Amino acid sequence: MAKPVVQDEQRRRRRPTKQGTVLSHELIVETALRMLREHGAQGLTARRLGLALGADASSVYRYFRGMDELSRAIADELMHRAMTGWAPTGDWRADLRALGLRVHASYLAHPQAAVLAASRVSGRAHEIAADEAVLGLLRGAGFPDRSAVRIYHVFIDQSLAFAALDAASLALPDEARRADEAVWQATYARLPERTHPHIAATAELLAERMNESAYPSALDLLLAAAAAELRAAELAAPERAVSARAAEGGAEG
């Protein structure tokens, strides 16, 4: 059963915890991020979080209705960190690229948290601010609303999907991650040209690229496609205007 949440103005703990700190929304989220980094998602429970805060587990529910709401708060905090320091420059394509790379980097800085939070829709202030910024860039560039929403959808899902994929790799135990990375040299580079001519021809390039994130390249492809779509729409606009005027003239005749 969901526990009642204390109103915002009443949330602050009146007495310090055993560690001499006063609980806050920000402190709980920061502590949860640290616990995820150290112990993974399975190690994050209300009881363990309470112990780390020097408080009873029930204290967490003064700020969050449950651990699921805390997960959404963590997602919003990662977006907050991505947005901090970013500001539009007036170049929509460069601005979207910079923001996408910031989102990806913010999640990868906390891979265990990213695995937990990348698929969540928080509906919180920082996520909403990021969505507003992306849509503003696209609409300001001249994309019609339907196109702006479609490109926004692809942009944010691509950013978070790559964040989850790359974070899952970083969250692996070191030995497992090194073993995966070695496959490109240990297996693919040794495949014979007779049976695998295309892999053999590109083996060196595969080994060079495949252990790096493909996100920057995928982002560039998305933005190039969006820019080409916008140019095509701008070129078609005068033609549509001429056709409309011709149609009006024919109607009058």
Mean confidence (pLDDT) of the chain: 88
Q: Are 142 and 131 in contact (CB under 8 A)?
A: no
Question: Which pLDDT does position 248 carry in this prediction?
Answer: 54
pLDDT, tens digit (0-9, with 9 covering 90-100), for 217-244: 999 999 999 999 999 988 887 655 445 4
Confidence of residue 136 (pLDDT cuts 50, 70, 90): very high
Question: Which pLDDT does position 22 carry in this prediction?
Answer: 82
Q: Are 107 and 161 in contact (CB under 8 A)?
A: no
Domain span including residue 32? 1-65
The number of distinct structural domains making up the chain is 1
Round to whole Å and give the CA distance between 253 and 250.
Answer: 5
pLDDT, tens digit (0-9, with 9 covering 90-100), for 185-194: 999 999 999 9
Round to whole Å and give the CA distance between 73 and 69.
Answer: 6
Q: How many residues does the chain have?
A: 253
Question: Which pLDDT does position 179 carry in this prediction?
Answer: 94
What percent of the chain is modeled with pLDDT above 70? 85
What percent of the chain is modeled with pLDDT above 90? 66
Question: Which pLDDT does position 113 carry in this prediction?
Answer: 93
Cβ neighbours of residue 57 under 8 Å, at least 6 residues apart? 45, 46, 47, 49, 50, 51
Round to whole Å and give the CA distance between 71 and 119.
Answer: 10
Q: Is residue 8 part of a domain?
A: yes
Closest residue by Cα to residue 103 from 124, 75, 69, 123: 75
- Per DSSP, the three-state class of 187 is coil
Q: Are 3 and 61 in contact (CB under 8 A)?
A: yes
Cβ neighbours of residue 65 under 8 Å, at least 6 residues apart? 2, 3, 5
Q: Is residue 24 part of a domain?
A: yes
Question: Which pLDDT does position 249 carry in this prediction?
Answer: 53
Round to whole Å and give the CA distance between 244 and 233.
Answer: 16
Q: Are 5 and 63 in contact (CB under 8 A)?
A: yes
End-to-end CA distance of the chain: 74
pLDDT, tens digit (0-9, with 9 covering 90-100), for 53-87: 988 888 888 899 889 999 999 999 999 999 999 99
Give the type of residue at 83.
Answer: M
Round to whole Å and give the CA distance between 93 and 99.
Answer: 10
């698929």: which residue's tokens?
119
Q: pLDDT at residue 95 above 90? A: yes
Better pLDDT: 120 or 230: 230
Q: Is residue 75 part of a domain?
A: no
Q: Is residue 204 part of a domain?
A: no
Q: Is residue 56 part of a domain?
A: yes
In this prediction, residues 32-45 reach a mean pLDDT of 89
Question: Which pLDDT does position 1 carry in this prediction?
Answer: 45
| Burial classification of residue 75, based on how many CB atoms lie within 10 Å of its CB (0-12 exposed, 13-18 middle, 19 or more buried) | buried
Closest residue by Cα to residue 218 from 169, 154, 137: 154
Q: Is residue 23 part of a domain?
A: yes
Q: Is residue 36 part of a domain?
A: yes
- The CATH number of the domain holding residue 38 is 1.10.10
Q: pLDDT at residue 207 above 80? A: yes
Q: Is residue 125 part of a domain?
A: no
